Structure 1
Amino acid sequence: MKLPDAQVAVLETASAQDAQTIDDLADATDHKPETITGAAFDLEEQGLVVVESATDETAELTDEGSQYLDEGLPEVRLYEAALDAGADESPVQMGQAIGQSGLEGQEVDIALSNYARKGYGSIDSGEITADADADPDSDSEASALDALAAGDADVDDDDTLDRLDSRGLVELTERTVRSVRLTDDGVTALMEGVEAAESVGQLTPEMLTSGEWRDVEFSEYNVEADAAEFTGGKEHILRQTANRVKDVLVGMGFEEMQGPHVDADFWINDCLFMPQDHPARTHWDRFAMDQPREIDELPADLVERVEGAHRNGVGPDGDGYHSPWDEDFARALALRGHTTSLSTRYLSGEQIGELEPPQRYFSVEKVYRNDTLDPTHLLEFFQIEGWVMAEDLSVRDLMGTFEEFYAQFGITDLEYKPHYNPYTEPSFELFGTHPETGELIEVGNSGIFREEMLAPLGVEDADVMAWGLSLERLLMLIYGFEDIRDVHGTLCDLELLRETEVMY
């Protein structure tokens, strides 16, 4: 029997008693693993071998896991410090135990969340106790880290590996391992004799020119055989959706705005008629710049008008906030918490010159807020900013714009709820129904800019309706994602991003 060289090598090396892995066969035959894989599948089709598949899970220490291998798990270090402080006899102040442990920052939270779970003691009302009978040397997670570091990748305790994986201390990887075993027909073929047939795998111009192609035997290819998986880079689904949003808004007659990510509080908040003592303007909700601390220049006449609106309101019946207003505070630099800072720059004429109605502008840019991380909030996200300047605008015009925009993405069940903003009146929030959970998700905020905001900017003979929508939440409504942390950020799900098909 004549067979291609790789198939002969597999037949002669494989065993009828013991299955051998593709890697073992590749090492023994000096062929590449992918060549052996293809040959094995070809032989299986002929009934000469059996190819068996199994899933092999391997665990590898992360950088954090290696750190804890050297320093000890945070909960173990806290337990040892508590013992030294005498917490096995009577409760001690938690601060004392933490100080003696040397734990800092996030390690403290990690230690506290695992301390009681592992039976090291209890934590109550700021005091900590230590169980004298606890044995840190038998900590299954610490033992698994030691075993992995020693090269033992086959830790038997799956629950422990899963906990280490959830803590980010190990990275679990699954791969398919294929093994080959000779069948009775394969043994018979070997006994009768097999030899390698000279074959070529590629047709060349020289063969065509000389006519040699008529006399050679070409290798057969199994196009259904598994091939190595290549996951090349591609445009992120969030960027794809952002570009799609831009296309939709340009199609609706809007022009795109551009502007700085770091800007003065003046443009971010003061021009929006946001009082300087508003809770959202504290350091708890914004990312202030340390260097440089303030903007170099602000238009003096605009600063004067904005300050006047804050102090006294606008018009004969206007009434300001009667709260402190400080130009130094207005000059302070911070990462923008919304892209409405771009809107104030454009509406004031400072960015591209004075604008006459009608005008339509938008931006799809990143903003930064000191929020608590959860399935719908990140510290940085993309905001779809937009505004229309025209005469006699109403809430009906604003809602109609949203209906037209979201319909382009198949979203037709918008709901609205009245809301308060310092810079719009009337104002309302937008909600859409999540396609998987059925829950209402807030997707944006909107309204008609107030006179107290527009007049200082020089807009007096027109109305301006505006909005700030979340790109990530639009993504959730389109694709059914339930956690935006899966889409971008340090915890993003790469497989989800690779496998999600773009929807148009």
Structure 2
Amino acid sequence: MQLPESQVAVLEAANADEATPVDALAAATDLPPETVTGAAFELEEQELVAVTERVDETISLTNEGRTYVEDGLPEVRLYEAALEASADADPAQMGQVIGTSGLEGDEVDIALSNYARKGYGSIDSGELTADPDADPAADPEATALESLVDEGTLEGSEDVLEQLERRGLAEVTESTVREVELTEQGVTELMAGVETAETVGQVTPELLTSGEWDEVEFAEYNVEADAETVEGGRVHVLREMSERVKDVLVGMGFEEMDGPHVDADFWINDCLFMPQDHPARTHWDRFALEQPTHIDDLPEDLVDAVERAHREGVGEDGEGYHSPWDEEFARALALRGHTTSLSTRYLSGEEIGEIEPPARFFSVEKAYRNDTLDATHLLEFYQIEGWVMAEDLSVRDLMGTFEEFYAQFGIEDIRFKPHYNPYTEPSFELFGTHPTTGELIEIGNSGIFREEMLEPLGVDCDVMAWGLALERLAMLTTGAEDIRDLHGTLADLEFLRNAEVTY
């Protein structure tokens, strides 16, 4: 019997008494594992060997997981520090507790995001409480990490394993193990003698020009043989979602805006009738520029009109804020905290000239805020900005626009909640139901622009506007439970490879 060289090698290395893994056969024959697998499948077709396979699952700790086994989970260390600060009796200052916990860098955000989730206590307005009945020794995630170190096996439920994976503390690796065993016919053929047949694996120019291709024996291809896993690149799910949102809004008759990521506080806040002593305008909530620090050019007439609205108000009943207003502060440069700075630029006529109603504009751009990282907040995020300028607009028009927009993504259970904004009246927030957790999550803010904002910009008709969260829309459509699964250092690569944005 004649067989290709690789098949002969595998046949001679296989055993009739017990199955031999492909890796062991590869080591014995000095052949690559994929070559051994292909040869084994070809021998199986001739009933010379039997091939069996199983899926092995290996759970291992990441470097971060090993660190927490030694030092303790960040949320447990925060709880222990809270007990030392007597937060089980009275609320303690969060900064003080963090300082005594020894947590640094990303560990602080990790501790804060898991503290309340595990029932260790609550965090509210910069204060922290500790539940005296909490038991860190029974923390299922800590127990699971210890079991992986001590026993090499996971002690805990599948839910615990999923949580460890999501946090990047454990990795689950699945591998297909194939084993090869000689059949009776294979033993018989070996005893009778097996010779190596000369075969050709591919057609070459020399074979074609010499005419030898017609005489040689070509090796057969086995499409079931293992091949190297290649993870190809793909468009990021947020980019896909952004393009989908743009398609929907353009289809609804909107035009796209663009503008600077770094802008003057004047465009970001002052034009929105946001008082200069508003808490959101402090260095705690904004990213100011170190160089340059201020913008050179602002339209003087518009600056005067905005300052007058802040100091005196607009209309007979307007009162303004009676609070400090400083043009130097208005000229200060910062990363925009919302993309509504684009709206003020366009509505004022400074960006593309005067806009006549009716008009509809939108943008899907990044905004930057000095927020605390958690499952629904990032330091930089994408905002879906939009506004409609027309006569006699109402809240009903605004709600109808949202219902039409979100219906394009299969979301038809939008809920509205009254809200206060310095620049819109009436105002309301939007909420959607997460498809996995069933929880209501905030997905946007909206309202009708106030007269105090529009009059200085030279707009004498109604404008309804909104700022929606692209990442949270992606969470509703893909089922992602944590915004950090979408991008950042904790992004779930497996999720990003498989998440789909439906059209």
Question: Does 2:51 correspond to 1:55?
Answer: no
CA, structure 1 residues 99+471, in 2 after alignment: closer, same or farther (shift >3 Å)? closer
Q: Which residue of 1 aligns with 2:422?
A: 422
Q: Deviations over 1:300-333 (max 9, x none)?
A: 2222211111111012321101112222322222
Structure-1 separation of matches of 2:357 and 2:110: 56
Q: How far apart are 1:168 and its partner, in Å?
A: 5.1
Equivalent-residue separation in structure 2 for 1:53 and 1:304 (angstroms): 76
1:320 is aligned to 2:316:
no
Matched, 1:350 2:350: yes
What is residue 46 of structure 1 aligned with on the other side?
46
* Aligned mates of 1:295, 1:350 — CA distance in 2: 15
**Aligned partners of 2:471 and 2:483 also within 8 Å:** yes
Structure 1, 328-337 or 488-497: larger mean CA deviation: 328-337
Q: Deviation at 1:10?
A: 0.9
Note the alpha carbon deviations across 1:257-283, whole angstroms, 9 max, x for none. Answer: 111222222211111011122222233
Identify which range, 363-372 or 444-453, moves more after superposition. Answer: 363-372
CA separation in 1, counterparts of 2:314 and 2:96? 57
Instruction: Tell me the equivalent position of 1:454.
Output: 454
Which deviations, in whole Å up to 9, do the C-alpha atoms of 1:206-235 show, x marking residues without a partner? 655665444332222222334322111110
Contact 1:238-1:475 at 8 Å conserved across structures:
yes
Deviates more, 1:249-258 or 1:472-481: 472-481
**Deviation of the 1:363 alpha carbon:** 0.5
- Distance in 1 (CA, whole Å) between partners of 2:185 and 2:394 is 82
Q: Is the 8 A contact 1:60 1:172 kept in 2?
A: no
For residues 112-143 of structure 1, what are the alpha-carbon distances to aligned partners after superposition, in whole Å with 9 as ceiling and x for unaligned?
999xxxxxxxxx999xxxxxxxxxxxx99899
In the other structure, the counterpart of 1:484 is: 483
TM-score by length of 1: 0.78
Percent of aligned positions with the same letter in both sequences? 71
Q: Structure 1 50/294 Cα, relative in aligned 2: closer, same or farther at 3 Å?
A: same
Shift in CA distance, 342/172, structure 1 to aligned 2, threshold 3 Å: same
Instruction: Tell me, in whole angstroms, the C-alpha distance in 1 between the residues paired with 2:383 and 2:111.
Output: 37
Q: How does 1:387-398 map to 2 (within 5 A)?
A: 387-398=387-398
1:182-331 to 2 correspondences below 5 Å: 182-204=182-204, 207=207, 212-331=212-331
Gap regions ≥5 residues in structure 1: 83-94, 115-123, 127-138, 148-154
**AA aligned opposite 2:464:** M
Residue 22 of structure 2 corresponds to residue 26 of structure 1? no
> Is the 1:50–1:183 Cα contact (8 Å) retained in structure 2?
no
Taking the TM superposition and a 5 Å limit, the aligned residue runs for 1:126-145 are none
Q: Letter of the aligned partner of 1:372 in structure 2?
A: T
* CA offsets 1:126-171 (integer angstroms, 9 cap, x no match): 9xxxxxxxxxxxx9989988x9xxxxxxx63545997997875675
CA–CA distance in 1 between the matches of 2:308 and 2:339? 24
* Ranges in structure 2 where 5+ consecutive residues have no aligned partner: 81-94, 116-127, 131-142
User: Which residue number in structure 1 is paired with residue 362 of structure 2?
Assistant: 362
Q: What is the rounded CA distance, in whole Å, between the counterparts of 2:265 and 2:174 in structure 1?
A: 50
Q: Distance in 1 between matches of 2:311 and 2:286?
A: 24
| Aligned AA (1:198) | E
SS in 2 for 1:376: coil
Counterpart residue identity of residue 481, structure 2: E
Contact 1:311 1:323 in 2 (8 A): yes
Preserved CA contact (<8 Å) 2:294 2:331: yes
Greater displacement, 102-111 / 334-343 = 102-111
Pairwise CA distance, 1:361:
1.1
Q: Which amino acid aligns with 1:253?
A: G
* Gap change, CA 1:220 and 1:60, over 3 Å in 2: farther
Q: Using the TM superposition, give the Cα deviation of residue 450 of structure 1 relative to its aligned residue in structure 2, in angstroms.
A: 0.9
**Cα distance in 2, alignment partners of residues 99 and 471 from structure 1:** 34
Assess, with a 3 A threshold, how the Cα gap between structure 1 residues 297 and 21 changes in structure 2: closer, same or farther. farther
- Amino acid aligned to 1:489: G
Match of 1:136 in 2: none
Which residue in 2 is equivalent to 1:470? 469
For residues 332-343 of structure 1, the aligned pairs below 5 Å read 332-343=332-343
1:98-137 equivalent positions in 2, closer than 5 A? 104-105=104-105
State the partner residue of 2:412. 412
Q: Secondary structure at the match of 1:501?
A: coil
- What TM-score do the two structures reach when normalised by structure 2? 0.78
Aligned CA distance change for structure 1 residues 235 and 206 (closer, same or farther; 3 Å): same
Aligned pairs, number: 457
Q: 2:152 aligns with which of 147, 156, 160?
A: 156
1:186 is paired with a residue whose SS is helix
Instruction: Give the superposition deviation at 1:344.
Output: 0.8
Q: Alignment partner of 2:44: what SS?
A: helix
Helix, strand or coil for the counterpart of 2:188?
helix
Deviation of residue 9 (structure 1)? 1.4
| Cα gap change, 1:245 to 1:98, in 2 (>3 Å) | closer
Task: Compute the RMSD of aligned alpha carbons.
Answer: 3.8
Q: Could you say what secondary structure the match of 1:291 adopts?
A: coil
Match of 1:133?
Answer: none
Query: Where do residues 487-498 of structure 1 align in structure 2 (5 Å cutoff)?
Result: 487-498=486-497
Task: Tell me if structure 1 keeps the 8 A contact 2:387–2:465.
Answer: yes
State the SS of the aligned residue for 1:421.
coil
Name 2:91's counterpart in structure 1: none
